[in-house]
Structure 1
Amino acid sequence: MLLFDYGDLIEENVPISNLRIRSRKATLSDCTCFLRPGLDICVLSTPQGTEDSSDDENQDPIWVDAKINSIERKPHEPKCTCQFYVSFYVTQGPLDMAKKTLSKETVLVQLDQISILQNLNGSLVKMSITVGNSLRIAPVLHVPKFSAIQKQHLVIDCIVNLRHKVTELNNAGKNISTELGRAKVSLKIANSDNARLLGQLGRAEKEREALKAELEEMKKVKDKVVDEANNLSFKEAEES
Structure 2
Amino acid sequence: MDKLRVIAFDADDTLWVNEPFFREAEDVFCGLLEDYLPHHTVNRELYATEIANLPLYGYGIKAFALSMVETIIRVTDGRAPLSVVERAINIAKEMLDKPVELLEGVEETLEYLGARYRLVLATKGDLLDQERKLERSGLARHFHHIEVMSDKGEENYRKLIAHLDCRPEEFLMIGNSVKSDILPVLKLGGFAVHVPFHTTWVHEVVKEPVEHDRLLRCDTLGELKGLLPG
Shared fold (TM-score greater than 0.5)?
no
The higher relative CO (CA closer than 8 Å, separation ≥ 6) is in: 2
Q: Which structure is higher in strand share?
A: 1
Q: Which structure is higher in helix share?
A: 2
